A and B are shown apart, each in its own frame.
Chain A
Amino acid sequence: MSLHVPTMSEMIAKGETPEILFWVGCAGSFDDRAKKITKALVKILNHCKVNFAVLGTEESCSGDPAKRAGNEFTFQMQAMMNIQVLNGYEVKKIVTACPHCFNTLKNEYPELGGEYEVVHHTQLIQDLINTGKLALEGSETYKGKKITFHDPCYLGRANDVYEAPRSLIEKLDAELVEMKRCKSKGLCCGAGGAQMFKEAEPGTKEINIERTEDALETAAEIIATGCPFCNTMMTDGIKNVEKEDAIKVLDVAELIANAADL
């Protein structure tokens, strides 16, 4: 099935207004692993006939890594350029599969003139299920499987979203097992605060290894995440301990798309 990915400019040219903008983000656009998450989400949106669009080549970095690295100039330049584009298209609602984009667009853009309703993709999918647009009943894909959820800091502690991703895992008929540190006490994967783009400072251990050990302790078969960067860190952690065959790292959107056979 080919993906239907309308861009904002195409839709406006046809005189149509999409209900929601899918903010893909840099990882979702360029990182090979994260692109799969992007596609999984598009499959869900296509399947549920959601009237959405992407910015395509008009999208640019939200500015999150610049801001966390301390460069407020670069952040605000990015933010204001993005806001000009978004306001130009009269965007009202945004969904994104990246908690960093989610946090920045939702919390830091309004003061700079960009006010939108911003939702994380797990919240949107939850809504699609609750309104009956997406059905998972009878899906055997993950039935009874042990799945643990790693809370992305910028989704959980930063924005108090803990339940949406968990409710989706429960919809899979899977067994949700919590790590000893979860929800507001969840341990960071090590990528936040622009750490993704630099070597870690000298220490005794990598943070993603520490977190991977938490996940392995649960004896889960799948680590579910909701962030492309957490995904990378956890995948690397699993590779590091050579457990790729025993435990998989998947985004919640991928789990849902697989379970719905999309």
Chain B
Amino acid sequence: MVKIIIFSLLIIVGFGFFGYNIWKVRSNILLGRDLNRSDNFWTRLKLMTLVAFGQKKMFSKPIPAFLHLALYLAFVITQIELIEILADGLSGVHRSLRASLGGFYTFMISFIEILSVLAFFATIAFLARRNMLKVPRLRMSELKGWPTKDANLILIFEVILLVCIFTMNGADEAAQVLSSNSSYGFTVSQFIGPVFFGGIKSIETLHLLEQIGWWGHIIMVFIFLNYLPYSKHFHILLAFPNTYYSNLEKKGKFTNLESVTSEVKLMLDPSADPYAIAVDPNAVPLRFGVKDVTDLTWKNLLDAYTCTECGRCTSACPANQTGKLLSPRKIMMDTRDRMVEVGNNQRKFGKDFDDGKSLLHSYISEEEIWACTSCNACVEECPINIDPLSIIIDLRRFLVMEESKMPTELTGMLTNIENNGAPWQFSQSDRLNWANEE
């Protein structure tokens, strides 16, 4: 009875805190500007199925893709065992699904165990790769400090989760052997159980070990769940909505700013009367481009939460490869850090609070955004369709249109376009000269 009460409390606190965090994450994402991505349900569903569920884009690097797949499958399938743990915890019955499922139950647990063994080796391989192999994209300056700890912590959590599962099933199998010389027939633990716990000749100790594994597992699940919203590992949940709400247009198509369109139309229309247009005196004019996270769209902010800092974008970036300051991954990490900061500030000090900082300048420098060639390699590379390029371009728009700050050569280029319709100083009337030149 005590166990059921403690367990119920754990569930209430675990899910309650997670719910609170999800509410915070949602309100942070909604700091962004509106954007309509409610169209093309079936196209989006297909994209999500292929890219998030099917991990299509991961397979351009087969070895990490395979290891990642093992972890992912184990994670998804183990949720079935979690259902039983919840049922056991609330009913006080041991292995409550076994009686009704029979042979299928053994098959299911065995399946989970095999995947868990693969996941265990994958986790060890990932830990080794992160800490021993010198994979350049996992050792860049933006990962110093917390991001590296975060990455290792996640992997350690996974090791603990897996150790708990095998402690639980292994001790249970050893207890079966000790009490009735029989076995549940779980593929992995029927062998490793006796190996690790066979020396223990007390049924109470084995039950205690089994309980430690059981409680350890469920406690770790709740720690893990509640750690996610603070971690880069949030992608295991957000990859799904993030790919669903992907940009479906051609990657080369940049948005046309509507606020600019109406002004340009006015300028080009000789009969237009600017005073005839009704202006709402209370309307706050929208900024051109992006200075802070509140100028970004909610999709940009969802992108930032979804980024798991793998760095494929940065390792494909031509600017980064040639030693420039730009790292698309850092753009996403900065966006997330700033969004969380603004969200916390607004909740604490009210909506109009200004901390004097902004995404541009305080987090992302002008040098970074001017290094971009807009080649879309980062967008192409991201396994879960994050788009750092649109943030970079919107930051440029703010610099150019609101602050008139840009490299001097670009000022010249823009003046040329405005004066003679070409980025160079050639007269428009010479545009057809090539046809008569030898």
Contact = CB atoms under 8 A, between A and B. Distances in A.
Interface stretch (A12-20, A125-133, A154-162, A237-245): A154-162
A77 B372 CA distance: 24
Contacts of B322: 190, 200, 203-207, 209-210
B265 interface: yes
A28 B425 CA distance: 15
Nearest to A42: B435
Contacts of A71: 397, 400-401, 414
B316 A185 contact: yes
B407 to A, nearest CB: 5
B370 A3 contact: no
Q: How large is the interface on A (under 10, 10 to 19, 20 to 34, 35 or more residues)?
A: 35 or more
B136 interface: no
B375 A107 contact: no
A193 B253 CA distance: 13
Interface string B29-63: 00000000000000000000000000000001000
A167 to B, nearest CB: 21
A76 B396 contact: no
Nearest to B394: A70
A30 B423 CA distance: 10
Given A70-B401, A188-B375, A111 B324 contact: no
A194 interface: yes
Interface in A47-87: 54, 56-57, 59-61, 63, 65-74, 76-78, 80-81, 84
Given A66-B417, A107-B249, A198 B370 contact: yes
A246 B403 CA distance: 47
Nearest to B399: A70
A153 B318 CA distance: 12
B255 to A, nearest CB: 9
Q: How large is the interface on B (under 10, 10 to 19, 20 to 34, 35 or more residues)?
A: 35 or more
A70 B400 contact: yes
A1 to B, nearest CB: 12
B414 A192 contact: no
B273 interface: no
B107 interface: no
Nearest to A103: B252
Nearest to A204: B323
A42 to B, nearest CB: 8
A57 B429 contact: yes
Contacts of B324: 200-203
Contact of B417 (A78, A80, A84): A78
A112 B424 CA distance: 25
Interface string A207-239: 101110000000000000000000000000000
Contacts of A136: none
A76 B256 contact: yes
Interface string B299-324: 00000000000000000101101111
B142 interface: no
B140 to A, nearest CB: 14
A141 to B, nearest CB: 22
A60 B380 contact: no
Contacts of A111: 256
Given A29-B434, A200-B322, A201-B326, 12 more contacts: A68-B374, A69-B410, A76-B257, A76-B261, A77-B267, A103-B253, A153-B376, A160-B250, A187-B321, A190-B322, A195-B373, A203-B323
21 contacts: A3-B435, A7-B432, A26-B422, A30-B422, A42-B435, A61-B422, A65-B423, A68-B254, A76-B261, A77-B267, A108-B253, A112-B261, A157-B377, A185-B60, A193-B373, A198-B413, A201-B319, A202-B325, A205-B321, A207-B318, A210-B318
Which are the 10 A-B pairs with shortest beta-carbon distances?
A158-B252, A204-B323, A70-B396, A193-B374, A60-B421, A188-B375, A107-B253, A203-B323, A70-B400, A103-B252
